[in-house]
Structure 1
Amino acid sequence: MELSSDDMRPVINRLKRARGQLNGIIDMLEEGRDCEEVVTQIAAVSKALDRAGFTVVAAGMRQCLTAEDQLDTSKMEKLFLSLA
Protein backbone atom coordinates (compact mmCIF):
# COMPACT_ATOMS: atom_id res chain seq x y z
CA MET A 1 0.00 0.00 0.00
CA GLU A 2 1.33 3.38 -0.95
CA LEU A 3 0.44 6.40 1.16
CA SER A 4 -0.51 9.64 -0.52
CA SER A 5 1.96 12.48 -0.24
CA ASP A 6 -0.87 14.80 0.83
CA ASP A 7 -1.67 12.54 3.79
CA MET A 8 1.98 12.27 4.71
CA ARG A 9 2.88 15.98 4.56
CA PRO A 10 2.02 16.55 8.27
CA VAL A 11 3.95 13.40 9.19
CA ILE A 12 6.98 14.57 7.24
CA ASN A 13 6.81 17.97 8.95
CA ARG A 14 6.52 16.34 12.37
CA LEU A 15 9.52 14.10 11.65
CA LYS A 16 11.59 17.05 10.47
CA ARG A 17 10.81 18.88 13.72
CA ALA A 18 11.74 15.74 15.67
CA ARG A 19 15.02 15.55 13.75
CA GLY A 20 15.76 19.13 14.81
CA GLN A 21 14.89 18.29 18.41
CA LEU A 22 17.12 15.24 18.30
CA ASN A 23 20.03 17.33 17.02
CA GLY A 24 19.35 19.71 19.90
CA ILE A 25 19.46 16.83 22.40
CA ILE A 26 22.82 15.70 21.05
CA ASP A 27 24.11 19.27 21.46
CA MET A 28 22.74 19.37 25.01
CA LEU A 29 24.54 16.15 25.89
CA GLU A 30 27.80 17.37 24.35
CA GLU A 31 27.49 20.59 26.37
CA GLY A 32 26.87 18.65 29.59
CA ARG A 33 23.43 20.11 30.18
CA ASP A 34 21.19 19.19 33.09
CA CYS A 35 19.80 15.64 33.09
CA GLU A 36 16.21 16.80 33.62
CA GLU A 37 16.34 19.09 30.59
CA VAL A 38 17.77 16.31 28.41
CA VAL A 39 15.20 13.73 29.51
CA THR A 40 12.36 16.21 28.95
CA GLN A 41 13.53 16.76 25.38
CA ILE A 42 13.99 13.02 24.78
CA ALA A 43 10.40 12.47 25.95
CA ALA A 44 9.18 15.16 23.54
CA VAL A 45 11.00 13.56 20.59
CA SER A 46 9.69 10.14 21.56
CA LYS A 47 6.12 11.43 21.64
CA ALA A 48 6.54 13.13 18.25
CA LEU A 49 7.85 9.89 16.72
CA ASP A 50 5.00 7.88 18.26
CA ARG A 51 2.43 10.30 16.86
CA ALA A 52 4.04 10.16 13.43
CA GLY A 53 3.96 6.37 13.48
CA PHE A 54 0.35 6.18 14.60
CA THR A 55 -0.61 8.70 11.93
CA VAL A 56 1.00 6.54 9.24
CA VAL A 57 -0.79 3.43 10.51
CA ALA A 58 -4.11 5.28 10.69
CA ALA A 59 -3.68 6.59 7.14
CA GLY A 60 -2.89 3.08 5.95
CA MET A 61 -6.00 1.72 7.65
CA ARG A 62 -8.16 4.46 6.10
CA GLN A 63 -6.70 3.74 2.70
CA CYS A 64 -7.30 0.01 3.05
CA LEU A 65 -10.87 0.52 4.21
CA THR A 66 -11.73 2.73 1.25
CA ALA A 67 -9.91 0.59 -1.34
CA GLU A 68 -11.44 -2.38 -3.05
CA ASP A 69 -8.74 -4.64 -1.62
CA GLN A 70 -9.38 -6.64 1.51
CA LEU A 71 -7.98 -5.11 4.71
CA ASP A 72 -5.15 -7.28 6.05
CA THR A 73 -6.03 -6.89 9.72
CA SER A 74 -3.15 -9.01 10.99
CA LYS A 75 -0.64 -6.89 9.08
CA MET A 76 -2.20 -3.65 10.35
CA GLU A 77 -2.28 -5.02 13.91
CA LYS A 78 1.40 -5.93 13.66
CA LEU A 79 2.25 -2.42 12.47
CA PHE A 80 0.20 -0.85 15.24
CA LEU A 81 1.74 -3.05 17.92
CA SER A 82 5.25 -2.35 16.68
CA LEU A 83 4.73 1.19 17.92
CA ALA A 84 3.56 0.15 21.37
Structure 2
Amino acid sequence: MKENVKSEEAVKIKETKSEDVKTDEAKTANTSKCECCCHKKKERSEKEYKDLIHRLNRIEGQIRGIKRMVEEDAYCPDILVQVSAANAALNSFNKVLLANHIRTCVAEDIREGKDETVDELVKTLQKLMK
Protein backbone atom coordinates (compact mmCIF):
# COMPACT_ATOMS: atom_id res chain seq x y z
CA MET A 1 0.00 0.00 0.00
CA LYS A 2 2.90 2.36 0.77
CA GLU A 3 4.19 1.77 -2.75
CA ASN A 4 0.87 2.97 -4.21
CA VAL A 5 1.03 6.12 -2.11
CA LYS A 6 4.61 6.75 -3.24
CA SER A 7 3.60 6.17 -6.87
CA GLU A 8 0.71 8.59 -6.55
CA GLU A 9 3.03 11.18 -4.97
CA ALA A 10 5.54 10.71 -7.79
CA VAL A 11 2.80 11.29 -10.38
CA LYS A 12 1.65 14.43 -8.53
CA ILE A 13 5.22 15.73 -8.41
CA LYS A 14 5.68 15.12 -12.14
CA GLU A 15 2.37 16.87 -12.89
CA THR A 16 3.38 19.82 -10.73
CA LYS A 17 6.78 20.08 -12.43
CA SER A 18 5.07 19.93 -15.83
CA GLU A 19 2.72 22.76 -14.80
CA ASP A 20 5.71 24.77 -13.53
CA VAL A 21 7.48 24.37 -16.88
CA LYS A 22 4.35 25.54 -18.71
CA THR A 23 4.09 28.52 -16.36
CA ASP A 24 7.75 29.39 -16.90
CA GLU A 25 7.29 29.16 -20.67
CA ALA A 26 4.28 31.47 -20.47
CA LYS A 27 6.25 33.95 -18.37
CA THR A 28 9.09 33.88 -20.88
CA ALA A 29 6.66 34.48 -23.75
CA ASN A 30 5.07 37.38 -21.86
CA THR A 31 8.44 38.91 -21.06
CA SER A 32 9.37 39.15 -24.74
CA LYS A 33 6.08 40.96 -25.41
CA CYS A 34 6.38 43.25 -22.39
CA GLU A 35 5.09 46.73 -23.08
CA CYS A 36 6.09 48.08 -19.70
CA CYS A 37 9.20 49.98 -18.70
CA CYS A 38 11.40 46.85 -18.63
CA HIS A 39 13.90 48.49 -20.94
CA LYS A 40 14.43 51.43 -18.58
CA LYS A 41 17.13 51.46 -15.95
CA LYS A 42 17.54 53.50 -12.77
CA GLU A 43 20.84 54.50 -11.27
CA ARG A 44 20.46 54.52 -7.51
CA SER A 45 22.68 56.15 -4.95
CA GLU A 46 24.75 53.80 -2.81
CA LYS A 47 22.58 54.66 0.22
CA GLU A 48 19.30 53.96 -1.61
CA TYR A 49 20.67 50.72 -3.06
CA LYS A 50 21.89 49.47 0.33
CA ASP A 51 18.59 50.37 2.01
CA LEU A 52 16.51 48.51 -0.60
CA ILE A 53 18.76 45.44 -0.55
CA HIS A 54 18.76 45.42 3.27
CA ARG A 55 14.95 45.48 3.30
CA LEU A 56 14.74 42.69 0.70
CA ASN A 57 17.22 40.55 2.63
CA ARG A 58 15.09 40.91 5.78
CA ILE A 59 11.95 40.00 3.84
CA GLU A 60 13.71 37.00 2.32
CA GLY A 61 14.65 35.88 5.83
CA GLN A 62 11.05 36.26 6.95
CA ILE A 63 9.85 34.10 4.05
CA ARG A 64 12.43 31.42 4.84
CA GLY A 65 11.23 31.51 8.46
CA ILE A 66 7.62 31.04 7.35
CA LYS A 67 8.63 28.11 5.16
CA ARG A 68 10.48 26.55 8.09
CA MET A 69 7.40 27.01 10.28
CA VAL A 70 5.26 25.13 7.74
CA GLU A 71 7.87 22.38 7.46
CA GLU A 72 7.92 22.06 11.25
CA ASP A 73 4.11 21.94 11.49
CA ALA A 74 3.81 25.20 13.42
CA TYR A 75 0.40 26.31 14.64
CA CYS A 76 -1.61 28.08 11.90
CA PRO A 77 -2.19 31.40 13.73
CA ASP A 78 1.54 31.66 14.43
CA ILE A 79 2.28 31.26 10.72
CA LEU A 80 -0.45 33.75 9.81
CA VAL A 81 1.09 36.37 12.10
CA GLN A 82 4.46 35.92 10.39
CA VAL A 83 2.88 36.14 6.93
CA SER A 84 1.20 39.38 7.99
CA ALA A 85 4.58 40.74 9.12
CA ALA A 86 6.15 39.78 5.77
CA ASN A 87 3.28 41.49 3.91
CA ALA A 88 3.79 44.63 5.99
CA ALA A 89 7.51 44.57 5.18
CA LEU A 90 6.77 44.24 1.45
CA ASN A 91 4.28 47.10 1.64
CA SER A 92 6.88 49.22 3.39
CA PHE A 93 9.42 48.34 0.69
CA ASN A 94 6.88 49.42 -1.97
CA LYS A 95 6.25 52.75 -0.21
CA VAL A 96 9.97 53.55 -0.03
CA LEU A 97 10.57 52.54 -3.65
CA LEU A 98 7.54 54.50 -4.87
CA ALA A 99 8.55 57.61 -2.93
CA ASN A 100 12.07 57.43 -4.36
CA HIS A 101 10.65 56.95 -7.86
CA ILE A 102 8.40 60.00 -7.56
CA ARG A 103 11.17 62.18 -6.09
CA THR A 104 13.67 61.23 -8.78
CA CYS A 105 12.39 59.71 -12.02
CA VAL A 106 8.94 61.29 -12.13
CA ALA A 107 10.04 64.74 -10.99
CA GLU A 108 12.94 64.78 -13.47
CA ASP A 109 10.75 63.64 -16.37
CA ILE A 110 8.11 66.27 -15.58
CA ARG A 111 10.80 68.98 -15.53
CA GLU A 112 11.90 67.73 -18.95
CA GLY A 113 8.31 67.91 -20.26
CA LYS A 114 7.77 64.14 -20.49
CA ASP A 115 4.07 64.08 -19.58
CA GLU A 116 3.76 60.35 -20.39
CA THR A 117 5.55 59.68 -17.10
CA VAL A 118 2.45 60.83 -15.23
CA ASP A 119 0.36 58.30 -17.16
CA GLU A 120 2.91 55.60 -16.33
CA LEU A 121 2.74 56.57 -12.64
CA VAL A 122 -1.06 56.43 -12.66
CA LYS A 123 -0.98 52.94 -14.21
CA THR A 124 1.56 51.82 -11.63
CA LEU A 125 -0.56 53.13 -8.78
CA GLN A 126 -3.62 51.39 -10.16
CA LYS A 127 -1.71 48.08 -10.23
CA LEU A 128 -0.52 48.61 -6.67
CA MET A 129 -4.04 49.28 -5.41
CA LYS A 130 -5.66 46.08 -6.69
- TM exceeds 0.5? yes
TM-superposed CA distance for 1:66, in Å, is 4.1
Relative contact order higher in (CA < 8 Å, ≥ 6 apart): 1
Question: What aligned pairs does 1:1-84 form with structure 2 within 5 A after superposition?
Answer: 2-5=42-45, 6-63=47-104, 64-66=106-108, 68-69=111-112, 70=114, 72-84=117-129
Aligned-partner Cα distance in 2 for 1:3–1:51: 21
Instruction: Note the C-alpha offset of 1:25.
Output: 0.1
Is this contact kept in 2: 1:21–1:45, CA < 8 A? yes
CA root-mean-square deviation: 1.8
Q: TM-score, normalised by structure 2?
A: 0.57
Contact 1:3 1:59 in 2 (8 A): no
Determine the C-alpha separation between the residues in 1 that align with 2:119 and 2:44.
22
Matched pairs, number = 84
Give percent identity, aligned residues only: 25
Give the unaligned 5+ runs of structure 2: 1-40
Larger Rg belongs to: 2
- C-alpha distance in 1 between matches for 2:78 and 2:68: 12
Structure 1 length normalisation: TM-score? 0.84
Q: Which runs of 5+ in 1 are unaligned?
A: none
